[in-house]
Amino acid sequence: MSYADLLKLRPGVTFNAEGEAQVLVWAPKAETVQLVFGKSQQPLALEKHPYGFWVLHTRALWPGDRYGFLLDGEGPYADPATLHQPDGVHGLSEAFDLQRFTWTDKAWQNPHLKDYIIYELHAGTFTSEGSFAAIETKLDYLLQLGVNAIEIMPLSQFAGDRNWGYDGVFPYSVQHSYGGPGALQRLVNACHEKGIAVVLDLVYNHLGPEGNILGAFGHYFTDKYNTPWGDAINFDDAWSDAVRHYFVQNALMWFRDFHIDGLRLDAVHAIKDLSPRHILQEIRQEVDALSRETGRAHYLIVEMDLNDTRYVKPADAGGYGMDAQWIDEFHHALRVSSGQERSGYYSDFDGVASLAKSFRDAYVFDGLYSEHRKRTFGMKADGIPGHQFIVFSQNHDHIGNRMLGERTSRLVSFEMQKLLAGVVFVSPFVPLLFMGEEWAEPNPFQYFVSHTDAELAEAVRKGRKREFAAFHLDGEAPDPVAVDTFENSKPQWHLVTQEPHRTMLSYYRKWIALRKSQQVLHECDRNGLSAEAFEEKEMIVIQRVWGGQHLVAFLNFSKTVQDAALPFGHLTWRKLIASSDVAWNGPQDMPEQADAGTLTVPAESITVYVNAISS
């Protein structure tokens, strides 16, 4: 088999229609590689191929068999491309046939990104059971909310049963405590049957520390670069061809074999690659080829600590071709506008002035000097459409990376919470919610792990303390290894029927319905938008125009009423929503209609009008 042919195969164990297993392992460090499986553990030798690949075709290995590899007689090691680790990261792999599942989603079409209402969740804490099967029971709830896309935090096998997911050590696997690969296929199929897309959070910048055996097989890591979380993945050093193959095939697997609709790639600024073709470009090209085969859109979304449009520009414009990116700066400016503390990386943001700029320009720092970074940072995002930016008032990072993991419901008033939600939905960007946000869940979302190595667990505790030192916080963070930390991070579903949570849920449903029904909100158009900040009033006035519809939104972040002017004297304005209305447990109803002139806007509120001729 030629080198080029080898690079077309999926790593690990795959089964053909006749039940024959094909085994592909990259182990250039080994002189011999043997497969051991079943009760007899009788080894089968793999055949060596170019560039350190080893191949075996056998009818002796069946789905459900436990197996591993001997490297020069040492081991057995789990499969680097294992799909299932039923006994955890330190156990053997279980052979799994991805083709056995019967999909019923042939009619499914992935919505356009501008249509997405994303709901981020953690599979282990979203429900009391902490399983994929339990998530299925909540799909009707999500439909009633108006969500049409869920984003699941990383699922690759990690040590123990409790983890955010960013310590995964087997990128092809599906966490056993959530139900494994078969249960994930069933969940995705169920989502598609109900009209819900599925985005999966993936980590391609590092692997976790416990159970990480890839280095025993090959040169998966490089010391050319560093990441804050572990050894850098080898995307451009010696032997990197096979590493790139491993991760490209991984991305394709999620789309092809699990019918995932989008991948959210974590912290891509920590993916170091100086190759002529960046690994993200290579993934984009291969995913596009898959889309031509499947006829479906497969989205690539990135999180990055860089205001660099190269990531989201198409390849023919010199970019990496990612479909969208998270915009942390919108969140930071929104948080500071709400009166929360300006410590750490929040210190760069000037409240409503920064938020208005993010409305207009996406990036707050687009060539400006950053005092926190002590350098000029970012570039202009001109010409990048709004649907390529994803915004939020909360997500797992900005809750869980607080020392106590407090949600916004613990940090600001009920009125301010409604304002923050409205800001996200009135933006020209794609909105994302974090689980439980929509009913003002009071439980925290704290950082948790279940490392079995005592020294590693202690290192995590100390690392968290160092991280909070940058925010000048005193006290002790909850023990990330304690079971209580995990259990306390679960949303309380019974609250959705109790006040004031029931009202907040109704408020979110209303906003989502407006986002879908009002074209001026639905279109992620950055051109027909103005955002003017009134810093002395702590207020922003947003205007958006689409077709014949004109919208004006008053965002009052202050604790006092403020006067504002409705534009255009010849128009009568119709209220879309006002967070201060009594229906939302607010202090006063805003007028259903208003003519141009002065409007009194309540404290900590968002009020939205559209012109009457568009109704």
Distance of CA 489 to the CA centre of its chain: 18
Which pLDDT does position 614 carry in this prediction? 44
Confidence of residue 230 (pLDDT cuts 50, 70, 90): confident
Q: How far apart are CA 151 and CA 133, in angstroms?
A: 16
Which pLDDT does position 454 carry in this prediction? 75
Mean pLDDT of 581-601: 93
Mean pLDDT of 527-550: 95
Phi and psi dihedrals of 178, rounded to 5?
Answer: -90, -15
Which pLDDT does position 485 carry in this prediction? 95
Question: What are the angstrom distances between the C-alpha of 315 and each of 277, 284, 363?
Answer: 10, 9, 21
Which pLDDT does position 32 carry in this prediction? 98
Mean pLDDT of 54-76: 96
Confidence of residue 7 (pLDDT cuts 50, 70, 90): confident
Q: How far apart are CA 141 and CA 147, in angstroms?
A: 9
Which pLDDT does position 612 carry in this prediction? 63
Q: How far apart are CA 411 and CA 399, in angstroms?
A: 11
Characterize 339-363 residue by residue with b for buried, 16 or more Cβ atoms within 10 angstroms of its Cβ, and e for exposed. beeeebbbebbbbbbbbbbbbbbbb
Q: Which of 182-186, 298-302, 344-348 has the lowest mean pLDDT?
A: 344-348
Question: Token pair of 588, please?
Answer: 């006063």
Mean pLDDT of 401-419: 95
Name the fold adopted by 519-614.
Immunoglobulin-like (2.60.40)
Equal fold, 3-94 vs 519-614: yes
pLDDT of 600 > 50? The answer is yes
Mean pLDDT of 138-158: 98
Which pLDDT does position 615 carry in this prediction? 43
Mean pLDDT of 410-428: 98
Write the single-letter amino acid at 358. Answer: S
Number of H helices, E strands in the chain: 15, 29
E-strand ranges in 324-409 read 324-326, 368-370, 375-377, 389-391
pLDDT of 613 > 70? The answer is no
pLDDT of 226 > 60? The answer is yes
Q: How far apart are CA 561 and CA 553, in angstroms?
A: 15
3 state DSSP class of 589: coil
Which pLDDT does position 398 carry in this prediction? 92
pLDDT of 471 > 60? The answer is no
Confidence of residue 220 (pLDDT cuts 50, 70, 90): very high
* Domain assignments of the chain as residue spans, ordered by start: 3-94, 519-614
Q: What's the Rg (C-alpha) of the chain?
A: 25
Q: How far apart are CA 66 and CA 176, in angstroms?
A: 14
Confidence of residue 229 (pLDDT cuts 50, 70, 90): confident
Q: Which of 105-119, 220-234, 311-325, 530-544 has the lowest mean pLDDT?
A: 220-234
Confidence of residue 457 (pLDDT cuts 50, 70, 90): confident
Which pLDDT does position 466 carry in this prediction? 67
Characterize 555-564 residue by residue with b for buried, 16 or more Cβ atoms within 10 angstroms of its Cβ, and e for exposed. bbbbeeebeb
pLDDT of 287 > 70? The answer is yes
Q: Which of 178-192, 336-350, 481-495 has the lowest mean pLDDT?
A: 336-350
CATH, domain 3-94, list 3.40.50.300, 2.60.40.10, 1.10.10.10, 3.40.50.1820 = 2.60.40.10
Q: How far apart are CA 605 and CA 79, in angstroms?
A: 54
Q: How far apart are CA 313 and CA 307, in angstroms?
A: 12
Which pLDDT does position 419 carry in this prediction? 98
Q: Which residues are catalytic?
A: 266, 303
- Residue 562: which of 581, 589, 534, 543 has the closest Cα? 534
Give 542's contacts (C-beta < 8 A, 6+ positions apart): 359, 426, 529, 530, 531, 551, 552, 553, 555
Task: Note the pLDDT tens digit of each residue in 163-175.
Answer: 999 999 999 999 9
Which pLDDT does position 570 carry in this prediction? 65
Residues listed for the chain: 615
Q: Which of 224-228, 244-248, 496-500 has the lowest mean pLDDT?
A: 224-228
Kindly report the average pLDDT of the chain as a whole number: 94
